[in-house]
Amino acid sequence: MATRLYPLFARLDGLPVLVVGGGGVAERKTRALLDAGARVTVGAPDLTATLAQWHRDGAIAWLGGDFEPRWIDSMWLVIAATDERAVNRRVSDAAAAQRVFVNVVDDAELSSFHVPAVIDRAPLQIAISSAGAAPMLARRLRERLETLLDHALGPLAALLARARERIRATLNEPVQRRAFYDRVIDSDVLDLLRAGRSDAAEATLDMLLATPPATAPGSVVLVGAGPGDPSLLTLAALRAMYQADVILHDRLVSPAILELARRDAERIEVGKEAGNHHVSQDRIHALLLEHARAGRRVVRLKGGDPFVFGRGGEELEFLRDHGVPYEVVPGVTAALACAAYAGVPLTHRDHAQSVRFVTAHTRDSLGVLDWKSLAAPRQTLAVYMGVAQIAALQSGLLTAGASRRTPVAIIENGTRSAQRVIVTTLAQLPRSAARHAVKSPALLLVGNVAASAARLHWFGAAPIDDRGAQPRETGAMRRAAA
């Protein structure tokens, strides 16, 4: 696995940097360093014609001969660009000894920093790195982004930089400044810069700054984050997360999804799990109200869909009663996503003509269920939050007449890289869950379609088939189970 790097942009203006090597690669690296304003010294026995000309012109210094560790003295950064790994290793070791960052071209093992593929819209720059694991992939992504990013973004960044102090003096609050920047980006300023009309663009920015909109009231967006795979987020969900000042998120919202939110948004975990309501629903309501009344854009980020066992209705009722504006962004609920990722069709014309969504969060939630209707054949039960109540669930269904041989699929961490699927039967359900140490988050699918996971799976590891040899069910067995 490639090392996770800490991304940064280095300010090298006027600082001494060493490039070891005098060939074409060294020339390219030197050109980029000169563009960044560095004072470059090239160390090599011989130089390309271009490097030699730069030396004659006084643009670079030259240390002739083979590499010596003393070359690194007083340097801020070192790049090794020779075609001899032994020399590159000596450069790397010498730099490490002096605690100087070194990049060895195309050798991630010997490098303490990596030079990314860059999309340059100066002063705006976008850097892409694969941590040295797949540089060609980084280059291909750069090629794609080059076609997507407007060349006028550079002049726009420069215009905003020139106006930054005026903007900060006029708009004191960060929320106001963010709203202003959004107005500028959504205005015709970029079109004017693209057309070369920089004076008109600056005049438009000044007009927008002179007429700031009234402070918008705070608001709440209930956002469904899906069951875990970030690629299942909707565009509306991403937009809300980008615009959020505060994110109240459930425990089951995956870290990969939270990484997509705006970096400076305040994150508050308000997760609840069976037997551990460390943040009560009343406290969640209070937090929503507190931040909305402070004028913030609040995202209530929920696993799955807000309106499927997510208490979204309760939260909307609270917001309505307190006059807080709200929106709802639906998410892919766990039953749909986990079933799809496990290869289980929830409906099938030969096996299931309906789907029932059931929560087994507590014994109280199980006590109000119509077990007779749930035990009926030719349907699929999708059981949410059922891990802690598996034995009670089995008992309720068997007592109501469900077949002991009914297939059950246990989908743990559905849609995530750690997804695990166990195919069992209703008779063996508690035993299978215990044998394989099933933990939440896990969804249970009960019905004939659940057996499809054994042959239609496509995502992650192959399912564990824990059905074993099933005895033929008789009337006496059914009565005994009851």
Q: Specify the pLDDT at position 329.
A: 97
Q: Specify the pLDDT at position 277.
A: 53
In sequence order, what are the residues at sequence separation of 6 or more whose Cβ sits closer than 8 angstroms to the Cβ of residue 32?
A: 115
Its pTM surpasses 0.85: no
Contact 289, 322 (CB under 8 A): yes
How far the first Cα of the chain sits from its last, in Å, is 53
Instruction: Name the catalytic one among 107, 120, 272, 465.
Output: 272
Q: Specify the pLDDT at position 251.
A: 87
Q: Specify the pLDDT at position 136.
A: 85
Query: How many Cα atoms occupy the beta-carbon half-sphere of 103 within 13 Å?
Result: 20
CA 102 → CA 16, 39, 105, 161, 231, distances in Å?
Answer: 13, 16, 10, 31, 36
- Please state the φ and ψ torsions of residue 420, each to the nearest 5 degrees: -135, 135
Contact 119, 134 (CB under 8 A): no
Report the distance separating Cα 478 and Cα 72, nearest Å.
Answer: 82
Position 440, amino acid:
S
In sequence order, what are the residues at sequence separation of 6 or more whose Cβ sits closer than 8 angstroms to the Cβ of residue 321?
A: none
pLDDT tens digit string along 255-270? 999 999 988 899 999 9
302 labelled catalytic: no
CATH code, 219-332: 3.40.1010.10
- CB-count exposure of residue 4 (10 Å: 0-12, 13-18, 19+): exposed
Give the position of tokens 């010498």: 94
Low-confidence ranges of the chain (pLDDT < 70): 1-3, 214-216, 272-278, 362-365, 469-482
Instruction: Name the catalytic one among 29, 229, 245, 250.
Output: 250
191 labelled catalytic: no
Q: Specify the pLDDT at position 474.
A: 43
What does 227-289 look like in DSSP terms, one character per residue? SS-GGG--HHHHHHHHH-SEEEE-TTS-HHHHTTS-TTSEEEE---BTTB-SS-HHHHHHHHH
- Domain positions in the chain are 16-115, 153-210, 219-332, 336-481
3-state secondary structure of 357: strand
Helices (H) and strands (E) in the chain, counts: 20, 18
In angstroms, how far is CA 110 from the centroid of its own chain?
A: 30
Q: Do domains 16-115 and 336-481 have the same CATH topology?
A: no
Report the distance separating Cα 17 and Cα 74, nearest Å.
Answer: 9
Contact 419, 460 (CB under 8 A): yes
Report the distance separating Cα 253 and Cα 270, nearest Å.
Answer: 11
Q: Specify the pLDDT at position 53.
A: 97
Q: How many CB atoms lie within 10 A of CB 38?
A: 23
Task: Supply 343's token pair.
Answer: 């290869």
In sequence order, what are the residues at sequence separation of 6 or more whose Cβ sits closer than 8 angstroms to the Cβ of residue 170?
A: 209, 212
In sequence order, what are the residues at sequence separation of 6 or more whose Cβ sits closer than 8 angstroms to the Cβ of residue 430?
A: 390, 391, 394
CATH class of segment(s) 336-481:
alpha beta
Q: Are strands 266-269 and 326-329 parallel, antiparallel or unpaired?
A: unpaired
Q: Are strands 380-384 and 442-446 parallel, antiparallel or unpaired?
A: antiparallel
Contact 100, 75 (CB under 8 A): yes
Closest CA to 335 of 451, 446, 466: 446
pLDDT tens digit string along 21-74? 999 999 999 999 999 999 999 999 999 999 999 999 999 999 999 999 999 999
Q: Are strands 246-249 and 101-104 parallel, antiparallel or unpaired?
A: unpaired
CATH tag for 16-115 (out of 3.20.20.70, 3.30.1280.10, 3.40.50.720, 3.40.50.300): 3.40.50.720
Q: What residues does 248 pair with on adjacent strands? A: 268, 300
Report the distance separating Cα 479 and Cα 481, nearest Å.
Answer: 5
